[in-house]
Structures are given as structure tokens and as C-alpha cells.
């Protein structure tokens, strides 16, 4: 489902709904010139707002962002990290 939301966002904002261009899960944004450097900021902003995560400077890397599949995996990782941190907080408070 995350992949679908990402695909829709990319399609609407960088391909402007052009149905001739189909983005596969592993289509590289860099190699195919689909997003430019200022467009990447929009994608980061979208990801941060939609999924309520924070993207650190050195997380903006091809391994995390350069395809729908990679980005989806990155988002899942961040969400599960956030869950773990949320679960740990009460314990930390209890020991103070």
C-alpha cells in the first residue's frame, strides 16, 4: 500500500499523470531522470508528512530513495524504529 501511495505521488508530481510512462517498483529515479534535485525535496517532504517520519541528511541516499521499492522499505524501517522507540519510552521514564 505504501508503494501505491508513493507511485501515485510520483506520477502526479513528476510525470503529471502521463500514462505513457510507467514507473516500476525498481525503476531508478537517478538513472531515468525522473526526479530532479529540487523535486527530491518535495518527495522527502511528502514522505515526512504522510508517514510522520523524519529523514536525516545522510538517509537521503540512493539505497533508501532511488526507487519505489527502496523507498517503501526505508519507510517501513523508519516506522518500525519509531514503534520500538515509543515502546521503550515508558521504561526509561520509570527508572528516572
Binding residues (CB under 8 A) for another protein: these are: 12, 15-18, 29-31, 33, 35-38, 40-42, 45, 56-58, 60-62, 65-66
- When the beta carbons of 66 and 72 are compared against another protein, the nearer one is 66
The cell for 67 is: 526507487
DSSP state of 28: -
CB 72 within 8 A of CB 47: no
Minimal distance in Å, beta carbon 11 to another protein? 10
- When the beta carbons of 64 and 72 are compared against another protein, the nearer one is 64
Minimal distance in Å, beta carbon 71 to another protein? 13
DSSP reduced 3-state for 70: helix
Question: Cell 505504501 appears where?
Answer: 2
Nearest alpha carbon to residue 71 among 94, 90, 51, 57 = 51
Minimal distance in Å, beta carbon 52 to another protein? 17
- When the beta carbons of 32 and 83 are compared against another protein, the nearer one is 32
Amino acid at each position: 500500500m505504501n508503494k501505491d501511495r508513493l507511485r501515485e505521488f510520483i506520477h502526479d508530481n513528476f510525470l503529471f499523470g502521463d500514462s505513457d510512462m510507467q514507473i516500476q517498483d525498481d525503476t531508478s529515479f537517478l538513472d531515468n531522470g525522473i526526479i530532479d534535485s529540487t523535486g527530491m525535496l518535495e518527495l522527502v517532504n511528502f514522505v515526512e508528512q504522510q508517514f510522520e517520519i523524519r529523514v536525516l541528511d545522510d538517509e537521503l541516499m540512493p539505497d533508501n530513495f532511488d526507487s519505489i521499492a527502496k523507498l517503501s522499505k526505508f519507510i517501513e524501517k523508519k516506522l518500525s524504529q519509531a514503534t520500538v522507540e515509543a515502546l521503550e519510552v515508558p521504561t526509561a521514564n520509570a527508572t528516572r
